[in-house]
């Protein structure tokens, strides 16, 4: 498959998204800008470097919300360094981390962080576990989480569904749909339809569909229902 060229950028009026990276098993990292507010989605390894280059310290310290689609390391590998950096730079405003209920990776990173730095954390971290598909309202943006199908292998060779969601981000009449890692599913089909931008993974490198990732064909078929789409997480 053709190699993706990162970063991928999209912008309409005051709403923009920059995908620094989305390489399966390596790292994801997405920055969303709505008006003057910045949001981080799936902070994988390298996110701090990319955010520092893109935003600088002041904007980074004002970061209010992080959205996690699921706990696989290529989506959360940068959380520890992000939290620690914000402590070192003495962030004062709260940080909300939204994540699917049952995502033990986020809760474990948070608990370890609290334990290690219990005496020197300068800001409040709110873990917001998403149990239902209720909308989330940030200062500027409405966020609608939706369940997706994403499995992982156990050591027994069997698979299990991991806590996983996609998100629809709405701002000023525009909508971005990000499915995270997902197999083809009706929820994603519905949420991507008519989106101004759909960010869709095409992580399955064979023709036969499975229940972990989408084939290129599946991702493209959903993408075409949106006004514009990016294919990400394509195996290199
Ligand atoms: Zn995954």
**Structure confidence by residue, pLDDT tens digits, 192-213:** 999 999 999 998 887 777 788 9
pTM of this structure: 0.96
**How far is ligand 1, taken at its centre, from the CA of residue 181, in Å?**
5
**How far is ligand 1, taken at its centre, from the CA of residue 89, in Å?**
31
**How far is ligand 1, taken at its centre, from the CA of residue 70, in Å?**
7
CATH code, domain carrying 132: 3.60.15.10
**How far is ligand 1, taken at its centre, from the CA of residue 114, in Å?**
25
**How far is ligand 1, taken at its centre, from the CA of residue 13, in Å?**
31
Domain that holds residue 72: 8-232
pLDDT at 107 over 80: yes
**How far is ligand 1, taken at its centre, from the CA of residue 151, in Å?**
8
Q: How many domains does the chain have?
A: 1
Neighbours of ion ligand 1 (CB under 5 A): 72, 181
Instruction: Write out the two tokens for 32.
Output: 């969303």
**How far is ligand 1, taken at its centre, from the CA of residue 140, in Å?**
28
pLDDT at 127 over 70: yes
Strand partners, 54: none
**Residue 222 pLDDT class (50, 70, 90 cuts):** very high
> How many H-runs (helices) and E-runs (strands) does the chain carry?
6, 15
Indicate whether 3 belongs to any domain.
Answer: no
Q: What is the mean pLDDT of residues 125-154?
A: 90
The three-state (H, E, C) secondary structure of 158-176, written as one string: CEEECCCEEEEEEECCEEE
Q: Quote the pLDDT of residue 3.
A: 58
Q: What is the mean pLDDT of residues 41-58?
A: 97
The secondary element (H helix, E strand) that includes residue 57 is: helix 47-61
**DSSP 3-state of 87:** helix
Indicate whether 213 belongs to any domain.
Answer: yes
**How far is ligand 1, taken at its centre, from the CA of residue 38, in Å?**
24
**How far is ligand 1, taken at its centre, from the CA of residue 133, in Å?**
20
Segment 52-61, tens digit of pLDDT: 999 999 999 9
pLDDT at 155 over 70: yes
The secondary element (H helix, E strand) that includes residue 74 is: helix 73-76
List all residues 6 or more positions away from 34 whose beta carbon is below 8 Å from its beta carbon: 14, 15, 140, 141, 169, 171, 172
CB 32, CB 38: distance < 8 Å: yes
The secondary element (H helix, E strand) that includes residue 16 is: strand 15-23
Indicate whether 2 belongs to any domain.
Answer: no
**How far is ligand 1, taken at its centre, from the CA of residue 186, in Å?**
18
**How far is ligand 1, taken at its centre, from the CA of residue 162, in Å?**
8
Indicate whether 20 belongs to any domain.
Answer: yes
**How far is ligand 1, taken at its centre, from the CA of residue 69, in Å?**
9
pLDDT at 177 over 90: yes
Indicate whether 1 belongs to any domain.
Answer: no
**How far is ligand 1, taken at its centre, from the CA of residue 118, in Å?**
30
The secondary element (H helix, E strand) that includes residue 54 is: helix 47-61
Indicate whether 150 belongs to any domain.
Answer: yes
Indicate whether 139 belongs to any domain.
Answer: yes
Indicate whether 12 belongs to any domain.
Answer: yes
**How far is ligand 1, taken at its centre, from the CA of residue 217, in Å?**
19
The secondary element (H helix, E strand) that includes residue 66 is: strand 65-67
């Amino acid at each position: 498959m053709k190699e993706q060229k990162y970063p991928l950028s999209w912008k309409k009026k005051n709403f923009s998204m920059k995908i620094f990276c989305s390489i399966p098993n390596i790292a994801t990292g997405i920055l969303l800008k709505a008006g003057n507010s910045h949001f981080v989605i799936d902070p994988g390894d390298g996110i701090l470097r990319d955010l520092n280059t893109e935003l600088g310290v002041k904007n980074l310290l004002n970061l209010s919300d992080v959205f996690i689609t699921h706990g696989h390391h290529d989506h959360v590998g940068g959380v520890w360094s992000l939290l620690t950096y914000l402590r070192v730079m003495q962030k004062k405003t709260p940080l909300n981390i939204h994540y699917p209920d049952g995502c033990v990776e986020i809760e474990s990173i948070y608990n370890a962080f609290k334990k290690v730095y219990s005496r020197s954390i300068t800001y409040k971290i709110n873990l917001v576990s998403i149990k239902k598909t209720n909308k989330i309202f940030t200062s500027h943006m409405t966020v609608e989480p939706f369940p997706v199908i994403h499995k992982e292998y156990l050591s027994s060779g069997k698979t299990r569904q991991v806590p996983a969601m996609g998100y629809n981000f709405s701002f000023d009449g525009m909508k971005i749909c990000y499915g995270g890692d997902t197999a083809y599913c009706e929820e994603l089909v519905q949420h991507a339809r008519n989106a101004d931008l759909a960010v869709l993974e095409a992580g399955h490198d064979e023709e036969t569909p499975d229940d972990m990732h989408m084939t290129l064909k599946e991702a493209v078929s959903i993408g075409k229902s949106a006004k514009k789409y990016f294919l990400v997480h394509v195996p290199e």
